Structure 1
Amino acid sequence: MKTKFYKYQGAGNDFILIDHTHAPLENIDNQLIENLCHRRFGVGADGLMFVTRHEEYDFEMHYFNADGKLGSMCGNGGRCIVAFAKHLGIIEKETNFLAVDGSHYARISESGEWVDLQMIDVSIIDRDDEAYVLNTGSPHYVTIQDNLKDFDVFNEGKNIRYNQTYSEKGINVNFVEDHGDHLFVRTYERGVEDETYACGTGVTAVAMAMAKHKNQTGHITTNIKVLGGDIKIEFDYDGSTFSNVFLCGPAKLVFEGEID
């Protein structure tokens, strides 16, 4: 049996998307998902998502990491799946959908290539020495790093992700350099086990951590550059809780095809 798939990318974070609204999602082949995400032997992607029906929401998002395992929330994946839902005719200008970390509201441009995705509120930020640790739908470690352009993100990120504190459950490791008018961010992602071109929940965590680091409050807009392009984060921060959090950026169809 052939299955149609669509390849999307959001600031270089790329995903395989499959419409599964015709039937319940059952008997998942995790090895097949890993094979499809492989960049040498498959389609190649940071993750794979299924869109399914839901009685109370416009649709439900099911996200699997490139290792084939069910993942936690993926922000750029969420933006791409909203663009995909518009492509399928499920939504038009806005949506409320269900993901693994709960419900999400999103609005999408008329072209279908720019999505503002509302993320969960965050009130807990821990410290690990000089780093910040928080959960924005997925767990994140945020540390400030000079000369980030030439920094060894893969090995340093892997060392943190697999250290004694985080090795069991894993954590996404974000390195950030403050350029004044924007933040430059590079991320090592668990599940992908490599540096990715962008991480939506990661840049959201970075923007929050840096607001706390700078003692900023009020309505805050943060421009972020990643290897795959530009992303904008907006939220309100009263000194204890980050609310009205939006991850804003591109979500574009790359190509479509069929797989057995």
Structure 2
Amino acid sequence: MEINFRKYQGAGNDFILLDDRGGTLVDKLDRPTIARLCDRHFGIGADGLMLLRQADAEYDFEMVYFNADGGRSTMCGNGGRCIVRFAADLGIDREVYKFLAVDGPHEATVTPAGEVSLEMNDVTEIRELDGDLVLDTGSPHYLKFVDDLDDVDVVTNGRTIRQSPLFREAGINVNFVRETPEGLELATYERGVENETLACGTGVTAAVVGHLHRRGGTTDGPFRIKVRAKGGNLSVTGERYGTQYRHLRLIGPAELVFEGTFTI
């Protein structure tokens, strides 16, 4: 069976996108096949694979996301932005896109500058653990704030935290964050990829929330913070009310890289 695909990237986070509105692909793509397609030496190469599927009438589509290891995963922020761009390229034309993901409904828009702005879930709980922070932005994240990202072995240190007894079974994404006068810099080790990725949308969102939490004080109200990942620049907007972070939006590029076919 020959299948058409398109590959997209958002700040260096890259994904294989498949149109499954006909409902014929999900049962044909088992875990080993997805892992092989995402392999950078023997496949197309990607941080994950997504299916755009038909959804209930109130939604424009459903996003089904698989990690590079072939397993189903929680929400992917950059993936969500890329699948909106994919939907637009397929001719699904909306001022506001409404789609369903594993963590619930999302809305997104394409900005006048051509970026994709994606609504993320509210954050209402932040845990402190040995001086670091743990929170969920659709996927679980561990935040370690550092003085210099160049001094961090992201893979070794990230894997040590991810494979620690507390997180080994469910997994967690590990983010190393540097605070700068201009905003934040971020490096991420992603579960499911089990390696460093050039960007992570839910990780960027988590880093911004963690940064504001660390600042404390009377900083309630709207915010916009820039984040520089290794693969590009993103920003997060939202509103803070005490320990509640609402109306979060992840904003950044989402671009077609190439398209082709593969056979299974």
Query: Scaled by the length of structure 1, what TM-score is found?
Result: 0.97
Q: Is the 8 A contact 1:65 1:71 kept in 2?
A: yes
Unaligned runs of 5+ in 1: none
Aligned amino acid, residue 105 of structure 1: E
Partner residue in 1 for 2:50: 49
Tell me which amino acid in the other structure corresponds to 1:9: Q
Query: Residue 104 of structure 1 aligns with which residue?
Result: 106
Residue of structure 1 in register with 2:181 after alignment: 180
User: Is the contact made by 1:211 and 1:217 (CA closer than 8 Å) also made in structure 2?
Assistant: no
Letter in 1 for 2:47: D
**Residue 161 (str. 1) matches residue 162 (str. 2):** yes
Corresponding residue SS for 1:141: strand
- Which residue is 2:12 aligned to? 12
Are 1:22 and 2:25 counterparts? Answer: no
Q: CA RMSD in A?
A: 1.2
Asked if 1:85 corresponds to 2:99, the answer is: no
Q: Secondary structure at the match of 1:78?
A: helix
> Does the 8 Å contact 1:104/1:117 carry over to 2?
yes
Question: Which one is further off, 27-36 or 57-66?
Answer: 27-36
Match of 2:66 in 1: 64
Q: Deviations over 1:5-41 (max 9, x none)?
A: 0000000000000000122533531110000000000
1:1-260 equivalences in 2 (<5 Å): 1-23=1-23, 25-55=26-56, 56-109=58-111, 113-215=114-216, 216-260=219-263
Q: 4+ residue runs of structure 1 moved beyond 6 angstroms?
A: none
Alpha-carbon separation, structure 1, partners of 2:19 and 2:111: 21
Q: 1:110 to 1:6 in 2, by over 3 A?
A: farther
Q: Tell me the alpha carbon deviations over residues 65-115 of structure 1, each in whole angstroms, 9 at most, x when there is no partner.
A: 00000010000000000000000012333211000000000001367x410
Q: Could you tell me whether the CA contact under 8 Å between 2:75 and 2:101 is conserved in 1?
A: yes
Q: What count of residue pairs does the alignment treat as equivalent?
A: 259
Task: Report the Cα distance in structure 2 between the residues aligned to 1:235 and 1:27, rounded to whole angstroms.
Answer: 39
Q: What amino acid sits opposite 1:174 in the alignment?
A: N
- Shifted more, 101-110 versus 61-70: the winner is 101-110
Q: Between the two proteins, what is the percent identity of the paired residues?
A: 48
Aligned residue type for 2:86: F
1:132–1:143 Cα contact (<8 Å) kept: yes
Unpaired segments ≥5 residues, structure 2: none
Q: Deviations over 1:110-136 (max 9, x none)?
A: 67x410000001100011111110000
Letter in 2 for 1:97: F
1:63, 1:91 → 2: CA distance? Answer: 22
Q: Deviations over 1:40-68 (max 9, x none)?
A: 00000000000000123100000000000
Instruction: Look up the equivalent residue of 1:258 and give its one-letter code.
Output: T
How has the CA–CA distance of structure 1 residues 110 and 89 changed in structure 2, closer, same or farther, with 3 Å as cutoff? farther
